[in-house]
Structure 1
Amino acid sequence: MRVSEISSSSVVTVDVEASLADAVGRMLEAGVGSAVVTDDGAPGGIVTESDVLDAAYRTDDPLSEIPVRKAASAPLVTTGPSASVRHAAQQMRKNDVHRLVVVDGLDVVGVVSTTDLIANFAAIREDERRHADAEYDWLTREDVR
């Protein structure tokens, strides 16, 4: 199964100079838990619900006074839409992140999260089983022996 099959195509972006209040407003409006942070239009980080809570707790300042750049996680961990879901899960584990930004070249085309992996677990497992069965069938063909 490919990342493009389970990733969200609803991507919120926010400029690095915006406030966390701006970021949260966009996230709430779109019903998502993260925003890709851009600098001159280029993606460079991500701000998540957890980042917002952490920044608000640490600073005790209003969200309108906290710049996104102070709360965002960087560098951005990305994957391609044609990457396997298994590879995406390995990247998340290796980089200790819960979201990967899906990029096609320089374009942000989606976000895949651990929630997406869990929500699609049954389909991912079935896909893996079919691949294993096909590999077994190929390896045990009579004409190969």
Structure 2
Amino acid sequence: MRVSDIASTTVVTVDVGASLAEAVGRMLDADVGSAVVTDDGAPGGIVTESDVLSAAYRSGEPLSSIPVRAAASAPLHTIGPSATVRRAAEKLGEHDVHRLVVVDGLDVVGVVSTTDLIRNYAGIREDERRRADAEHDWLTRENIW
């Protein structure tokens, strides 16, 4: 199974200079839990629901007065759409994050999250079983020469 099979293609972006209120508004409008943070259109970070809550609690200020840059996580962790879901799970663990931004060249094309992995667990397990069976068949085949 590939990342493109399970990733959300709804991607919200917000400029690094915007307020958290603007970011939250865009996230709520799109019914997503994160926004890719851009600087002059180039993706460089991500702000999540958890980041927003943490920044609001720490500052005690209204979201409209907190800049996105104060809450965003950087660097941005990315993966290609043709990468395996197994590789996505590995990268999520390696970087201790819950979301990877899916990029195709320089274009942001989606977001894959731990929730996406959980929702697709049965299909991922079936793919892994088929891969293991194929590997076993290959390694145990009779010499055909």
1:22-41 aligned within 5 A: 22-41=22-41
Where do 5+ consecutive residues of structure 2 fail to align? Answer: none
Which contiguous aligned blocks of 4+ residues in structure 1 show a shift greater than 3 angstroms? none
Distance 1:106 1:142 in 2: 46
Distance 1:59 1:99 in 2: 25
Bigger Cα displacement from structure 2, 13-22 vs 129-138: 129-138
1:1-145 aligned within 5 A: 1-144=1-144
Q: CA RMSD in A?
A: 1.0
SS of the residue corresponding to residue 143 of structure 2 reads coil
Distance 1:144 1:118 in 2: 41
Distance 1:80 1:70 in 2: 28
Q: State the TM-score, normalized to the length of structure 1.
A: 0.98
SS of the residue corresponding to residue 50 of structure 1 reads helix
SS of the residue corresponding to residue 102 of structure 1 reads strand
Distance 2:137 2:27 in 1: 47
Percent same amino acid at aligned positions?
A: 78
CA deviation vs aligned residue, 1:35-84 (integer Å, no higher than 9, x gap): 00000000000000000000000000000000000000000000000111
Distance 1:73 1:144 in 2: 54
CA deviation vs aligned residue, 1:66-104 (integer Å, no higher than 9, x gap): 000000000000000011111111111111100000000
SS of the residue corresponding to residue 4 of structure 2 reads helix
Distance 1:27 1:69 in 2: 16
Aligned residues: 145
Shift of 1:144: 4.8
Q: State the TM-score, normalized to the length of structure 2.
A: 0.98
